[in-house]
Chains A and B, each alone.
Chain A
């Protein structure tokens, strides 16, 4: 999240959009999975930054503060326009069979057709991210998509490092399960 931009850029709409606009939109777009919602979140974020920049007393690099506002705005809009019910991740998203082994495990990492199916896989993974509960979606977006390191992402979400890793792990396991189900259904369709 490093940036060489001075905080004065937060006070000037032109500079704010020029220096931070793309990153704000990208994060909002990842969070909402929708261009129109991301634009609304971006607009709200920019206005909020401009209104409050005068009293900003944070670190010299304001990117964390900007990310935090963007996350809050994107979360609110995603909740309002929610297109999919959130899944529950209170327990590990892995099933076990009667003999106590993980069941339904499809190791799709070795499929010879996985590159040819990349477009469908991308669509599936975006849908699966969209149905994650807010905090889990934020963990995946920040760390796996935006490349924010564990400690910084945990701080942004007000979590301990361990708490952040638990969320990220369960979110990834849910995405794994969704792709597993997708490939299983794809193969069943091919056989029929």
Chain B
């Protein structure tokens, strides 16, 4: 691990997303591959990073609470009847071009 030091490991850690998704330029790809051959801790980080993505993809789907849609129909109807002032002042822009922040 002669070339394995914090700055090298840190650079490799920075590139792991692109290494995984195949978007690294050839030069960086060779650098990461070479480093992973020499640095078991960075291999551990990469493998467990991949595992996190697998866990995220395996997470249980969101379950819809019972009666949710019916409750929403009532709440939305109540909300609409209580407020007839027109578009909210803090409403999101009505276009995809200019996103609003909360």
Residues on A lying within 8 angstroms of B by beta carbon are 13-14, 17-18, 21-22, 25-26, 29-30, 35, 39, 42-43, 46-48, 50-59, 64-65, 68-69, 72-73, 75-76, 79, 92, 94, 96, 100-103, 105-110, 114, 118, 121-122, 125-126, 140, 144-145, 156, 158, 165, 168-169, 172-173, 175-176, 179-180
Contact B45 A105 (CB under 8 A): yes
Residues of A within 8 A of B51 (CB): 108-109, 114, 176, 179
Residues of A within 8 A of B26 (CB): none
Residues of B within 8 A of A106 (CB): 44, 48
Residues of A within 8 A of B77 (CB): 13
A-B contact count (CB 8 A): 174
Residues of B within 8 A of A92 (CB): 10, 13-14
Contact B76 A47 (CB under 8 A): yes
Mostly helix, strand, loop or mixed at chain A's interface? Answer: helix
Contact B91 A52 (CB under 8 A): yes
Residues on B lying within 8 angstroms of A by beta carbon are 1, 4-6, 9-10, 13-14, 16-18, 39, 41-45, 47-62, 64-65, 68-69, 71-73, 75-77, 79-80, 83, 86-88, 91-92, 94-97, 99-102
Known contacts A165-B18, A179-B48; is-contact A29 B62 (Cβ 8 Å): yes
Contact A17 B72 (CB under 8 A): yes
Taking a contact as CB atoms closer than 8 A, the residue among A101, A168, A176, A180 that contacts B9 in the complex is A101
Closest-CB distance, A158 to chain B (whole angstroms): 5
Contact A13 B39 (CB under 8 A): no
Contact A30 B55 (CB under 8 A): no
A126–B56 CA distance with the chains assembled, in angstroms: 9
Closest-CB distance, A150 to chain B (whole angstroms): 8
Residues of A within 8 A of B56 (CB): 125, 140, 144-145, 175
The 8 residue pairs across chains A and B that have the minimum distance between CB atoms: A109-B51, A58-B96, A107-B44, A100-B6, A55-B94, A169-B17, A105-B44, A72-B102
